[in-house]
Amino acid sequence: MDRGNFKHAIMISYADLASNVLPDFVAKQKAKHGDNFHQLWFDRGEKESQLMRHIVERIPANDGLKVFICGHGNIGIEFVTDDSESRKQTLDDIARFLIYGLGSRCIAKDQAAKTRINMIACRFGRTPDGTADKIPAVMLHQKLFKRGLYVEVEARTESIITFRKKGEPETPRRTMGISQEKKEESEGKAYSYTPRRQYTKLLCTCVQGNAIAQFKSYDAQHADILVNDLVGRRFLWAENVVNEVTKYLNFSHGNIVGDGREKTLWQIIKWFENGRDPEALKERFEKVLSGEGVGLTDNDFTKHRNPVSAMFAWSEPKTAQLVRSLLQKYPR
């Protein structure tokens, strides 16, 4: 269903998140949906799912319904938290809430597109290990599907944030790639909801009675990508490359990467996050192992820079080992 056809919306969050992080989002939804927008609270426990059921029962079956699940998330984390990150809702908690709250609305497989669960949680659609099975959004969709609840689940592979600087108005909202967020993680941040980069939205849905997941295109000239097709598996590989390389980088030098080879890796993954081309990412990695490089110093990662290590080392430098191990996992 087109996003503009969701006439009704229900937002479920912790109260502190709604007041501290989401007031602009709430205002937007109230303006868009009017009396068809409802807010529910994890703080109030199970009775809120009962209230949700009463709301849902009054919504015509053919009207589109979007349910926003809001909380702080991260890569591969199977829960969302309140703003203080002291309380959480696990995937099982969320599934249980939705199964009761949506009642009989979602029991027909061919009506799945009329009800969309939109996860307002950072990286909830991102792979933690290069596979689709461990993506929290996919796991949630599977839990609902196996219980006979046929809905769509939408999530982002990136963080959904914006920067605020003291004394200045809020900057335009955007999603942010992990490489850039790693560099600027000490800045003040607040959540946002505007799509930015191609194929950073994951949509789990039902097609011909089967549960599938796909990377959505923001450009009508490019098709959506099924995560289990070869192209989709390469996207999963590339996103996991960003995960692993970002963990490897050291930003201790005045919030910048000090080492030349790490700087090269950082340049490569930033370039991928802008262009979103997994095959080209693979080719750039291959170049740093061949000595061709990508434009910065220390291009040949296979050579030890320390003369003693170059003479006596029995293995490649650690950076080369990392790159080679990631390349070995490239889907073919």
Which CATH fold topology does 3-228 show? Rossmann fold (3.40.50)
Q: Quote the pLDDT of residue 184.
A: 46
Residue-wise pLDDT tens digits, 75-129: 999 999 999 999 999 999 999 999 999 999 999 989 999 999 999 999 999 999 9
> CA 276 to CA 197: how far, in whole Å?
8
What value does the mean pLDDT take over residues 233-259? 84
Yes or no: say if 208 and 202 are a contact pair by the CB < 8 Å rule: no
Residue 33: pLDDT band (50, 70, 90) is very high
Q: Quick one: pLDDT at residue 161?
A: 64
Provide the pLDDT for residue 32: 95
Task: Report the DSSP beta bridge partners of residue 72.
Answer: 81
For residue range 46-76, list pLDDT tens digits in order. Answer: 899 999 999 999 999 999 999 999 999 999 9
Q: 175 with 160: CB under 8 angstroms?
A: yes
The amino acid that residue 99 corresponds to is I
Which one, of 37, 87, 104, lies nearest residue 65 by Cα? Answer: 37
Model pTM? 0.88
Per-residue pLDDT tens digits for 261-302: 888 898 899 899 888 999 999 999 998 888 766 554 456 788
pLDDT in tens, 184-212: 443 445 444 544 678 999 999 999 889 99
Residue type at position 96: R
Q: How far, in Å, CA of 201 to CA of 269, rounded?
A: 18
CB atoms within 10 A of CB 45: 10
Domain ranges across the chain: 3-228, 232-327
Span 170-181, mean pLDDT?
A: 48
* Dihedral (CA of 104, 106, 111, 113) sign: positive
Q: Which alpha helices (DSSP H) does the chain contain, by range?
A: 15-20, 23-33, 47-57, 91-102, 136-146, 178-183, 230-248, 260-275, 278-290, 307-312, 318-327
Q: Which residues contact 220 (CB under 8 A, 6 or more apart)?
A: none
